[in-house]
């Protein structure tokens, strides 16, 4: 039986079902609605950060592509990481900038599902790509004589392709599983993008199976690559400590220190975000840590790799005069 006096505006966003439950057709990303006076300030800050991310990672892609001294597996993987970071941040940051500009935050369920799907695919792919990069450093330091044979171009392409292929179908399936749930009641997402925890809070009915599947995929796509990274670096450190000269140890460690810093930043903030207690009092902290691994880490990566890498700095010195001459 249809209810009386239905508000037309509300009816445009909600569909009344025969069971008198309101099925959500649109979400609202609250973002930073609790601090409305800082919206324009945040818009300016995030816009500058986005430009820095695009320029920084874009320069890394350019110099590793055109400079002949950087045509090695390590920089091939770095180029792919920079491309991934541009895609990763572009899934969330432009939408957040638009919401800060319009101060609305409305997002359709299909757009929300698309954002979550790409976010999950890119985040999980980065986990595997970081593991691939650690394996590259392991072969270079622990088996230097076999390095050109093991890490040939074909193998590098296959490792990058496998990083994408492993996670893409699984994350598409996981997103479909989540958005096949009924959503009723509140449509307010207490976050600045469509992430799994705030979306599941809005779902109706039993979400036990969804939580189990999310846990299984999280174990496969986060701890497993991290354990592979730890295994590679345990052998790398063991090999470095056995080197006879201090200069040799310092040079060997410098080739993997940048990657190690990136791993700590990415995994550290992501782990804190998803393993902390699920309570309303931690929602502000969740958004803060989410900013680190979704926005600030992609911004720091080019700085970490350029400032701590003599080859990249030298390539930049050669590239800048050519660009200024244009």
140 pLDDT above the threshold of 60: yes
In percent, the amount of the chain with pLDDT more than 90 equals 46
Through-space distance between the first and last CA atoms of the chain, rounded to whole angstroms:
71
Average pLDDT over residues 157-166: 96
CATH of residue 256's domain is 1.20.1070.10
Vertex 26 angle, CA 96 and 275, to 5°: 60
Predicted local confidence at residue 131, as pLDDT: 94
DSSP helix/strand/coil, 192: coil
Q: Which of 176-180, 235-239, 305-309 has the lowest mean pLDDT?
A: 305-309
Full-model pTM: 0.87
pLDDT above 60 for 136 = yes
Average pLDDT of span 255-280: 74
Confidence band for 160, pLDDT divided at 50, 70 and 90: very high
Inter-residue long-range contacts of 317-326, CB under 8 Å, 24+ positions, other chains counted: 318/67, 319/59, 319/62, 319/63, 319/66, 319/67
184 vs 110, which has greater pLDDT? 110
Please indicate whether residue 263 or residue 283 has the higher confidence score (pLDDT): 263
Q: Is residue 5 part of a domain?
A: no
Helix ranges, the chain (H): 8-13, 39-66, 73-102, 109-142, 147-150, 153-179, 196-200, 208-221, 223-241, 246-275, 283-291, 297-307, 310-325
**Is the confidence at residue 126, as pLDDT, over 50?**
yes
User: What is the predicted pLDDT for the residue at 282?
Assistant: 54
Tell me, yes or no, whether 100 lies in a domain: yes
The first and second tokens of residue 230, run together, are 């730890």
The contacts of residue 169 (CB under 8 Å, 6+ apart) are: none
Cβ 194 vs Cβ 119: under 8 Å: yes
Q: How confident is the model over 8-23, as a mean pLDDT?
A: 45
Quick one: how far is CA 171 from the chain centroid?
Answer: 14
Q: Quote the tokens at residue 188.
A: 């307010």
pLDDT in tens, 16-38: 434 444 567 889 999 888 888 88
pLDDT given at position 277: 55
Structural domain boundaries enclosing 286:
22-325
Return the pLDDT at 280: 57
Mean pLDDT of the chain: 84
Q: What is the pLDDT of residue 18?
A: 40
pLDDT in tens, 84-104: 999 999 999 999 999 999 888
Q: Specify if 14 maps to a domain.
A: no
pLDDT at res. 27: 94
2 located within any domain: no
Is residue 103 included in any domain, yes or no? yes
How many Å apart are CA 35 and CA 59, to the nearest integer?
A: 35
User: Quick one: pLDDT at residue 20?
Assistant: 41
**Mean pLDDT value across residues 289-307:** 82
Pick the residue with more confidence: 78 or 310? 78
Q: Structural domain tally of the chain?
A: 1
Q: Among 75-89, 99-113, 116-130, 216-230, which stretch is predicted with the lowest mean pLDDT?
A: 216-230
16 falls within a domain: no
Structure tokens that stand for 4 in this block:
């009386």
- Is the pLDDT at 302 greater than 70? The verdict is yes
CA–CA separation, 185 and 36 (whole Å): 25
């Amino acid at each position: 039986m249809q209810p009386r006096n239905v508000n037309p505006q509300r009816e445009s966003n909600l569909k009344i079902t025969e069971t008198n439950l309101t099925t959500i057709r649109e979400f609202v990303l609250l973002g930073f609605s609790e601090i409305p006076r800082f919206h324009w300030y945040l818009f300016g800050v995030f816009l500058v950060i986005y430009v820095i991310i695009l320029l920084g990672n874009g320069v890394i892609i350019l110099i590793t592509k055109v400079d002949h001294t950087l045509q090695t597996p390590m920089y091939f993987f770095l180029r792919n990481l920079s491309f991934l970071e541009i895609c990763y941040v572009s899934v969330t940051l432009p939408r957040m900038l638009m919401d800060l500009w319009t101060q609305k935050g409305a997002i359709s369920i299909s757009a929300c599902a698309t954002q979550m799907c790409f976010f999950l695919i890119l985040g999980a792919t980065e986990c595997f790509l970081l593991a691939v990069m650690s394996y590259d450093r392991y072969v270079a330091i622990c088996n230097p004589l076999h390095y050109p044979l093991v890490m040939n171009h074909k193998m590098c392409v296959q490792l990058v392709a496998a990083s994408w292929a492993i996670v893409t179908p699984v994350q598409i399936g996981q997103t479909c599983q989540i958005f096949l749930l009924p959503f009723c009641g509140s449509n307010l997402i207490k976050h600045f993008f469509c992430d799994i925890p705030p979306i599941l809070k809005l779902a109706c009915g039993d979400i036990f199976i969804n939580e189990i599947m999310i846990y299984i995929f999280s174990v496969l796509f986060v701890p497993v690559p991290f354990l592979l990274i730890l295994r590679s670096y345990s052998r790398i450190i063991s090999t470095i400590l056995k080197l006879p000269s201090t200069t040799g140890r310092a040079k060997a460690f410098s080739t993997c220190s940048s990657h190690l810093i990136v791993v700590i930043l990415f995994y550290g903030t992501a782990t804190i975000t998803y393993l902390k207690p699920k309570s309303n009092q931690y929602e502000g902290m969740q958004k803060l840590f989410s900013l680190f691994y979704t926005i600030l880490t992609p911004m720091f990566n080019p700085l970490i790799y350029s400032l701590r890498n003599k080859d990249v700095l030298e390539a930049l010195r050669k590239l800048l005069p050519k660009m200024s001459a244009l």
